[in-house]
Amino acid sequence: MLSSNYTSNNTGIFTNKSNNNEQQFIVQTAEYAKNLKETYGILPSISIAQAILESDWGRSELSVKNNNFYGIKGDNPNKTVMMNTKEFVNGEWIEIKAPFRKYDSWQESMDEHARLIVYGTTWNANQYSTVLAATEYKEAAYALEKSGYATDPDYPVKLIRLIEQYNLHQYD
């Protein structure tokens, strides 16, 4: 018995729906990420890999219900949703409830992610300047970690693995 991730086409050949959905997600976000590079200078491979990792290929509850591909938090009660999340704090994973931004579209989520990288946070406008200065994806992935983008100590390795496995650097 095949899992629900597989489907049969009319020729009797089985294809992995997961892989098809993943490729579709890449195609969907890649074109937009290339446009964002023109406007903001962020490497598309990084934008796409972060969207994949943070949203589980657009399948997470946050991305499906709220178009938030990047786990961006917010503080406006009218534009946020409270959700559980895992954070790596003091050498261990903990679960917390946090307010995450709601967007009208996934493109709006990608736009805000790009603006966050370019304009930084309210407490540090230059927080991600090393990400923007990076000329290749590995440098940008490690710059995200050093800039405090995510609490996961393996974040850059996960991004690099996705970029290389799915050849996302072709969009840079």
Work out the pLDDT band at 129, boundaries 50, 70, 90: very high
- 7 belongs to a structural domain: no
Strand partners, 98: 83
Q: How far is Cα of residue 102 from the mean position of the Cα atoms in its chain?
A: 15
Domain that holds residue 113: 29-71+103-171
- 14 belongs to a structural domain: no
What number is the average pLDDT over the span 67-81? 93
Q: Model pTM?
A: 0.84
Distance, in Å, from the CA atom of 10 to the CA atom of 14, rounded to the nearest integer, reads 9
* 77 or 85, which is more confident: 77
- 94 belongs to a structural domain: no
- 23 belongs to a structural domain: no
- 124 belongs to a structural domain: yes
CATH number (domain holding residue 109): 1.10.530.10
Burial class of residue 161, CB neighbours in 10 A (0-12, 13-18, 19+): middle
- 5 belongs to a structural domain: no
Determine the residue type at 29: T
- 36 belongs to a structural domain: yes
Instruction: Give the total number of structural domains in the chain.
Output: 1
Distance, in Å, from the CA atom of 168 to the CA atom of 172, rounded to the nearest integer, reads 8
104 contacts 145 by C-beta, under 8 angstroms: no
Average pLDDT value for the chain:
88
Work out the pLDDT band at 18, boundaries 50, 70, 90: low
Distance, in Å, from the CA atom of 58 to the CA atom of 62, rounded to the nearest integer, reads 9
> In the predicted model, is pLDDT for residue 23 greater than 60?
yes
What is the percent of the chain where pLDDT is above 70? Answer: 90
- 151 belongs to a structural domain: yes
Confidence at residue 59, expressed as pLDDT on a 0 to 100 scale: 96
> In the predicted model, is pLDDT for residue 168 greater than 70?
yes
159 contacts 70 by C-beta, under 8 angstroms: no
Over the Cα atoms of the chain, what is R_g? 17
